[in-house]
Each structure stands twice: as structure tokens, then as C-alpha cells.
Chain A
């Protein structure tokens, strides 16, 4: 499922115009992005949680040339699946 299919499903289920459904989805995703950008975690019961992990500088290698390169510090978001979703995904297997 992609975003436009999601918008369509939201619009049908909520009985709202697609434009409104799209705007609601954008608000939800923007709030989540802003929280992560501020270094905050996200915790949604039943779905999962997101946290931001900090990586310091490390030395890696270019796998092709074997050349040593310095990898700059970075932050990456991590998702941990919630209990309910984990069980849902596994029940019909």
C-alpha cells in the first residue's frame, strides 16, 4: 500500500473528502517527523515505537577499493514493532 491508497482508504472510512484525508495524514506524519528531528521518541501503543540512535564517527572501508574512509557522525531512526502488530502479522501464517 502506498500513500495515495492510504488516502483513499482514510477518505472512505472517515467519510471525508480525499483532500481532507490527505491533510490529516500529512499532519500525523509531519508531527512524527518533527518529533524525531527534535530527538524525541515516538510511542504508539499497539503499533510500535520509534527512537533515534546516535552514531559517532567511525572508520569504515570502501568495500570496492578497500580504501579507509572516515564516516561522519549521524543519527538514524529505529522502529520497534509493538506487541499487537507483531501478533497480528503472525496470526495467519
Chain B
């Protein structure tokens, strides 16, 4: 089983006095606010769940694993996630 956006919409719809359209909108807004925050290079701290960081990676030399050709990997940003202690404990209960 995999939890998807549709499952989140269903949960919000069942537990709140909202129409289905409003529930969809709520989940979409939650995701777009999160994405915009990270897009601006800002960290996202969700207490009780975890922390999303944007890390800058410097350019480095790498290799094409298939051909062995050397190439330069341009600098880029990556998103990392660090689970909170509460989330870790719940997963290990």
C-alpha cells in the first residue's frame, strides 16, 4: 500500500466540514506552499514530522558510469529530509 495525494484528500474531506473541491484545494495549497518555500531556498521545519533542507552542491568532476567518460557535474541544489525524533520513534514503536 502506498499513500497518495488522493488518500490525503480523502482524510481531510472525512475529518473536516469541507466540500470535496475544498479538500482537494487544501491539500494542493499545502503542497504548493511547501514547494514554494523550498524553491526560494528556504528550509521547511515541520515540528513533529521533520525538516526539509535545501543544500547547495558544488560543481564536481564525475564520470559517465556507462562510458567512463569524465565530465563536469554543474553546481546544483538538492532537497534533503531529516526526520524528527517523534517521527522516528513512531516508526520504531
| Chain A residues packing against B (C-beta within 8 Å) | 1-3, 6, 9-10, 13-14, 20, 23-25, 27-29, 31-33, 35-38, 40-48, 50, 52, 74-79, 81, 84-86, 88-93
Contact = CB atoms under 8 A, between A and B. Distances in A.
Nearest to B29: A13
B5 A44 contact: yes
Contacts, number: 138
Contacts of B79: 48, 79, 81, 85-86, 89
A31 B7 contact: yes
Contact of B30 (A24, A35, A88): A24
Given A32-B3, A36-B90, A89-B39, A13 B33 contact: yes
Contacts of A77: 50, 81, 83, 87-88, 91
A2 B51 CA distance: 9
Given A27-B11, A44-B5, A48-B79, A37 B93 contact: yes
B12 A3 contact: no
B62 interface: no
A73 to B, nearest CB: 9
A87 to B, nearest CB: 10
A50 B79 CA distance: 13
